Amino acid sequence: MATHITQIDDSEHRTTILRVEGEMLLDDALLLERIASDIQTELDTSVTIDLADLDFLDSESAVVLRRIDGTLGFRIEGIESFLQTAVNAAERHG
């Protein structure tokens, strides 16, 4: 499944949520990083990245997400749901 990014603007709270669905590979993560940076610069809002509906994340993308979270200061949420889904799938197939 391709990566799908949905932008949800909350002008009242001056924040933008980027909801990510599908699979995230390196090119997808780099695109997400550019989109989030552009939104933060152009709209002067905080950016939250919601990964709850992510199905797959490769290790190269994880490095980019770590940078997004740590260095650039974007908020990442929903990773707990993604990790729990991965654990459940591993238990079923393991």
The pLDDT of residue 35 is 95
The one-letter amino acid at 67: R
The pLDDT of residue 32 is 96
Mean pLDDT by 10 residues, the chain (94 residues): 91 92 94 94 91 88 85 82 60 65
Beta-carbon count within 10 A of 7 CB: 12
Here the tokens at position 53 are 């509906």
Residue 67 and residue 34 in contact, taking contact as beta carbons nearer than 8 Å: no
pTM of the model: 0.82
Residues facing 19 on adjacent strands: 6, 50
The pLDDT of residue 56 is 87
